[in-house]
Amino acid sequence: MSKYVLVTGGAGYIGSHTVLALTAKGYTPVIVDDFRNANEVVLNGLSTILGFEPILHRVDICDPSAMRAIFQSYVFHGVIHFAAYKAVGESVQKPLMYYQNNLAGLVNILSLMEEFKVLNFVFSSSCTVYGEPKETKEVHEETPKSLPESPYGYTKWIGEQIISDFFKSAPEFHLMNLRYFNPVGAHPSAKIGEFPIGKPNNLLPFVTQTAIGKQDCLTVFGDDYPTRDGSCVRDYIHVMDLAEAHVQAIQFLEKQENGCLEAVNIGTGTGTTVLEVIRVFEKITNQKLNYRIGPRREGDVIEIYANAVKSNTLLSWKATRTIEDAVRDAWNWELALNQQA
């Protein structure tokens, strides 16, 4: 019998890579995505890699009757909930849109899981829930959370709270918050990858778009921070490693006899500065990147990276790909996109 896993936002960046990772382990992903923030190119790429068309429902996760019909059509083994808005700046401009989609969507999915007794649930959370780390820059799951800087951050923070309150009322559920650090890279086939709509906010898409000529110049947001070269430090995690972490999470949850709620960091455990990312890009692609040093970006965390012990002990998962792998795969994806254009 097929082990159906509902993947909301399955045509998006992390979702599409997770669809591949699930399929590789024998699960049957059922994608729900209304393509407001996804692209047909990625869907075609998925079909090419898989050799068949994945199951897809073009539905808004906030539409209760359409979602109920999907829950009626499959016996879901679990749910991985990606579908959400994720641009920090936009969330400041359109907070209600963020709260509506990210929180109403989550509540809708959890309600249907309760109604249909689908026990296993993985939530796309973020290291943004830690805010700016106080003493040590390496954060573990017990590091106290801080109040977020943006409505986007609040949707992850409140999302975790909703899940926690739900668990108190329904302790038989198996729930996991995966706190992602900075997802980067693409599938090594260059058939799927990140597809930023409009000007990218995140670093690596901006780097590759600058190198290909879609952007004129990368601005490094500050080089006067108290870090080893003055630029901010992040924990960049290859999207295929991140995708595989979701499969490990589902495999962990399905083994549990009792209900559980866990938060797990998904990062490499190593921090890399913005300037180091640029150096890696220049080395891997053997070209100079056009960049300039600009002012700090408001709300930026100075330095944060994962303590990655719990993911290893609880999920038997750890990152296996390097920042070099991620940069090479992101660049090959940019080149492939450019050929299609």
Q: Which residues bind ligand UD1 (CB under 6 A)?
A: 86, 88, 126, 128, 153, 182, 201-203, 206, 218-221, 232, 234, 274, 297, 299-300
Q: How far is the CB of 201 from ligand UD1 (least distance, A)?
A: 5
Q: How far is the CB of 310 from ligand UD1 (least distance, A)?
A: 19
Q: Cα separations (Å) of 238 from 82, 136, 158, 160, 232?
A: 17, 24, 26, 24, 19
User: Residue 66 CB: number of other CB atoms within 10 A?
Assistant: 15
Position with the least CB separation from ligand UD1 = 232
Q: How far is the CB of 183 from ligand UD1 (least distance, A)?
A: 6
Q: How far is the CB of 320 from ligand UD1 (least distance, A)?
A: 21
* Pairwise CA distance, residues 302 & 273, whole Å: 10
* For ligand UD1, the closer CB: 128 or 285: 128
* For ligand UD1, the closer CB: 174 or 234: 234
Closest to 178 measured CA to CA, from 162, 160, 196, 164: 160
Q: How far is the CB of 182 from ligand UD1 (least distance, A)?
A: 5
> Rg of the chain over CA atoms, in angstroms?
19
* For ligand UD1, the closer CB: 71 or 206: 206
User: Residue 290 CB: number of other CB atoms within 10 A?
Assistant: 12
* Pairwise CA distance, residues 128 & 155, whole Å: 10
* For ligand UD1, the closer CB: 59 or 237: 237
* Pairwise CA distance, residues 6 & 71, whole Å: 9
* Pairwise CA distance, residues 145 & 132, whole Å: 9
- Output phi, psi for 237, to 5 deg: -115, 130
* For ligand UD1, the closer CB: 230 or 259: 230
Closest to 118 measured CA to CA, from 105, 129, 109: 109
* Pairwise CA distance, residues 181 & 264, whole Å: 11
* For ligand UD1, the closer CB: 27 or 235: 235
* Pairwise CA distance, residues 284 & 295, whole Å: 27
Q: How far is the CB of 194 from ligand UD1 (least distance, A)?
A: 9
Q: Which residues are catalytic?
A: 152
Contact 276, 232 (CB under 8 A): no
* Pairwise CA distance, residues 218 & 174, whole Å: 43
